[in-house]
Structure 1
Amino acid sequence: MQPSVGERRSQSFDRVLSSMCTEPHPAARAAAEAFLASNPGDPATYDAVAELEAEAVDLLGELAGLAEPHGYVTSGGTEANVQAVHAARNLAESDDPNVVAPESAHFSFTKAAELLGVELRTVPTDGDHRADVDAVAAAVDADTALVVGVAGSTEYGRVDPIPALADLASDAGSRLHVDAAWGGFHLPFSGHDWGFDDAAVDSLTVDPHKVGRAVVPAGGLLARDARTLDALAVETPYLETPTQASLTGTRSGAGVAAAAAALEELWPDGYRAEYERAIDLTEWLAVELGGRGYPVVGPELPLVAVDLPDALFEAVRGEGWKLAGTGTGEARIVVMPHVDRGTLESFLDALDRLAGTVGV
C-alpha cells in the first residue's frame, strides 16, 4: 500500500549536485505559506501580493543594474525567456521575424520559437563555450527581432560577451535579451559585464527560485521600458485588473511573496557571501578533480564540468548522487547553497572508492 501524501517526506538535497534549485531561505518559506491562496494574476483584487511583487521587481532591478525596472515574477526561467521572445515578435517590424541565439542557450528558446512561430537561428559557441560574436553577426539580418546572450550557461556556467552582443543587436535594429536565470544572483559580485548598466540590454531573465533562495515557482522577467510589457498585454474583462501581461493567468502568490522575502533578507550582503563561498568551493573542487586525472572545464561561476568515465558516472549515480551531463558528456556539478565542503568530500570519496570497482 502506498503511503499517503501526508506520510511522504520531501526529497533531501544531501546528494543533489545537478540541480539549479535549492533549499529556500526560512524567510521565504514563511512568506510563501502566508500567501498560498493569493493570485498575483489579478493584482487589483490581490493588492497585498501585488505590492510584494512590485518590491521584488524593484530589488531584482537593483541587482541587475536597472533603476526603474518593468517586469513581473514568472513561473521560472522558461516563462521569462518565452515572454522575451513573445515581446520581441510582437514589437518586430518584420512579418517573418527570427531569433539568433548561441548553441549554449537554454532549451526554453526552442519551446518559444515553436510556440510563437518564429525562426530560431542557433549559432556555434567559441572554444570556451561562450557566444561567438562573429557567428552571431553572420546569422543576424533585417528580420532579426531578438539576439540572445547567456550570462551563466546551464552546461558550463559561462558568461557571453554581453556588451559586444548589445552593440551587434543595436546595429541590426534588434532587441537584446540576456538569460541570467541561474547566474544573475552571482554576477553582481563576479566582475562580469552582464546587466542593464553594462550594456544596452532590453530584457533579462533572473530567477529568485535558484540561487536567490525563494520557493519554487519564482522566476523573473525584467525589461528596460514599459513597451515590453505593453507588447504582451491582453484585456481581461472579467477581472478587477483590466489587462494582464503575464503568460499564465493565475500565478503563485507564494512564489511572489517568497521572492520578495528572500531578496529583502539577502540582498546584497547575503548573496555576496554565498557567491564568495561557492566560487571558493568550486575552485577547490576543480583542483581536486583535476588532481585525480579527470579533465575539468575551468570554472567561471560556481559550476564544474568534469569528464568522468561513463562507467564511473553511472556507478556514482547508482549510489544516489544526482548528476546530470552536458550535451557532450561531461558531468555537471552545480555548487548551490545546499552543497558544502562535506558534501563534496563525500562525493570525492565515492569517486575514489568506485573508480577501482569499475576499472578506472
Structure 2
Amino acid sequence: MNGQHAPQSFDRVLSSMCTEPHPAARTAAERFLATNPGDPATYGTIAELESRAVELLCTVVDHPRSGPDLGYLTSGGTEANLQAVRAARNLAAGGDVNVVAPESAHFSFRKAAAILDVELRTVPLDRDHRADIEAASAAVDENTALVVGVAGSTEYGRVDPIPDLCAIAHETGARMHVDAAWGGFVLPFHDVPWTFADAPIDTMTIDPHKLGRAVVPAGGLVVRDPATLDALAIETPYLETHAQATVTGTRSGAGVAGAVAAMEELWPDGYRETAQRCQRNAEWLAAAFADRGYTVVDPSLPIVAASIPTPIFEELRSAGWKIARTDRGELRIVCMPHVTRDTLRAFLSDLDRIAESDGSRTAGSR
C-alpha cells in the first residue's frame, strides 16, 4: 500500500459517530484478523471472546442477567436493528405486521422494513425532538409487532421516553426495541431511563465501534430472553454447530476481540471520563455558536446542531471539514473522543473567517 492510500486522519472529522479505536482494541483486533465467530466449533477462542463481549454489553445496559445466549456481535447498528425487526416479525402471531418508530429512528429501520416486508409506521416528535407518546399510542394496533425507541438519536442525541413506549408496546402485545447504537456507551453516565433495568425492553442495539472505542465492525444486539435468538436461528447442516441466529455467516473476529479489549480497558471509569469530556466540549461549542448569533439545539448528549447558513456550511466543507447536516438543514457536529477542544477552536476560526468574508454571521442570512 503506497502513501496515496494511507488511512484518513480524524483531525477534521466532526460529524462521524465512529472514532479512533482504543490502542488495546487495535492490538487485540490485529491478533484475530483471520478468525470467524460464525464457525464457533472451529474458532473456539474467538467464540469464547464473543461470549465475554456479550457479558460486558449486558453489564453496560444493566441487563438483569448475563450470559452468551443474550446477544451477539453484529456488523453494526443496521444489522442489529434489522434483527430486532426480524425477531419481532417471526414471533408475531402471523399475518401482516407493522413496526412503530419515531421519525428520529435511524434509516436502517426503513431498510429492515423493505427487506422483511413489514409496514413501518413513523410517529412525530415532541418539541424536544423525542417520540411523541400520544402519537405512538395512536399508531399501534393488534398487528403491531414492534415499538422502537431511540436512546441517543442520530441528529440531536435525544433519548425517547423508553419506559412509556415499552408500556405502550406490551399493552398491545408487541415487543419493545431500543436503538442505543451510539448512545449506549455515554448514557450510563447520564440520569435518564434507557436500560433493561429501567423497563422490560425486549431487544437493544448498542455498538462498541462507536463510543465504545472498538474497531470497525463491532456492533451489538442484546436480548432480554434467549428465545429471541431462537426465533432468528436457522439450521447449519455442514457446520459442527447446529444453528445460527446471525444474518451473516462469516463475521469479524477482529471486531469481537477489539470490542472485548476496549470494554475491559475502559469500563466504567474510562468511558465515564470520555463521556464527561465529550459533553463538556459539546456544551462549550453550543455556547460558542450561540455567542455568534446562531440558533443552537441544546446538547443533552454530545451532539451539537446549529443553524449555519448554507453558503458558510459549503465553504467549511471545501476547507476540509468533514461535517454533515440534519434533515432540517442544521450543521451537525458529534463531539466524539477524537474531537478535541483545539480542533473545535480551529473549526470556529475557519467559521469566523468565512462568515466575515461573506458578511453573514447569523442564521438569518440564508
Aligned to 2:26: 29
Aligned to 2:66: 68
Decide which of 33, 44, 47 is 1:50's aligned counterpart.
47
Aligned residue runs from structure 1 range 168-317, under 5 A: 168-317=168-317
Matched, 1:9 2:2: no
81-90 or 4-13, which deviates more? 4-13
Q: 1-side partners of 2:4 and 2:347: how far apart? A: 30
Aligned to 1:78: 78
Q: Which runs of 5+ in 1 are unaligned?
A: none
Q: How has the CA–CA distance of structure 1 residues 5 and 244 changed in structure 2, closer, same or farther, with 3 Å as cutoff?
A: farther
Question: Match of 1:121, SS?
Answer: strand
Q: 2-side partners of 1:84 and 1:175: how far apart? A: 9
Please give the per-residue CA displacement for 1:32-66, whole angstroms capped at 9, x wherever unaligned: 00000000001111110011101111010000011
Deviation at 1:7, TM superposition (A): 5.5
Aligned to 2:357: 357
> 1:213 is matched by which residue type in structure 2?
R
- For the Cα contact (< 8 Å) 1:150–1:159, is it kept in 2? yes
Q: 2-side partners of 1:291 and 1:162: how far apart? A: 34
> 2:288 is matched by which residue type in structure 1?
E
Identity value in percent:
66
> 1:68 is matched by which residue type in structure 2?
S
52-61 or 64-73, which deviates more? 64-73
TM-score w.r.t. length of structure 1: 0.98
Matched, 1:105 2:105: yes
> 1:337 is matched by which residue type in structure 2?
P
Aligned to 2:128: 128
> 1:248 is matched by which residue type in structure 2?
T
> 1:152 is matched by which residue type in structure 2?
G
> 1:216 is matched by which residue type in structure 2?
V
Please give the per-residue CA displacement for 1:231-259, whole angstroms capped at 9, x wherever unaligned: 00000011121110000010000000000
Deviation at 1:94, TM superposition (A): 3.2
- For the Cα contact (< 8 Å) 1:166–1:200, is it kept in 2? yes
Deviation at 1:8, TM superposition (A): 2.1
Aligned to 1:334: 334
Deviation at 1:359, TM superposition (A): 2.6
Question: Match of 1:95, SS?
Answer: coil
Q: 2-side partners of 1:5 and 1:101: how far apart? A: 46
Question: Match of 2:51, SS?
Answer: helix
Q: 2-side partners of 1:117 and 1:344: how far apart? A: 43
- Structure 1 segments (4+ residues) deviating >3 Å: 4-7
Please give the per-residue CA displacement for 1:174-201, whole angstroms capped at 9, x wherever unaligned: 1000000000000001111001000010
Deviation at 1:6, TM superposition (A): 6.8
Q: 2-side partners of 1:12 and 1:352: how far apart? A: 24
Q: 2-side partners of 1:109 and 1:56: how far apart? A: 25
> 2:270 is matched by which residue type in structure 1?
G
Deviation at 1:5, TM superposition (A): 5.3
> 2:115 is matched by which residue type in structure 1?
L
Q: 1-side partners of 2:208 and 2:276: how far apart? A: 18
Deviation at 1:72, TM superposition (A): 0.2
> 2:52 is matched by which residue type in structure 1?
E
> 2:83 is matched by which residue type in structure 1?
Q
Please give the per-residue CA displacement for 1:106-154, whole angstroms capped at 9, x wherever unaligned: 0000000000010000111111110001000000000000000000000
> 1:193 is matched by which residue type in structure 2?
P
> 2:44 is matched by which residue type in structure 1?
D
> 2:24 is matched by which residue type in structure 1?
A
Please give the per-residue CA displacement for 1:278-321, whole angstroms capped at 9, x wherever unaligned: 11111111111101001000011010011100010001111000
- RMSD (Å), alpha carbons: 0.9
Q: 2-side partners of 1:129 and 1:5: how far apart? A: 46
> 1:58 is matched by which residue type in structure 2?
E
Q: 1-side partners of 2:250 and 2:358: how far apart? A: 50
Q: Which runs of 5+ in 2 are unaligned?
A: 361-366
- For the Cα contact (< 8 Å) 1:45–1:241, is it kept in 2? no
Q: 2-side partners of 1:148 and 1:294: how far apart? A: 32
Q: 2-side partners of 1:358 and 1:216: how far apart? A: 40
Aligned to 1:318: 318
Q: 2-side partners of 1:331 and 1:38: how far apart? A: 40
Question: Match of 1:220, SS?
Answer: strand
Matched, 1:18 2:15: yes
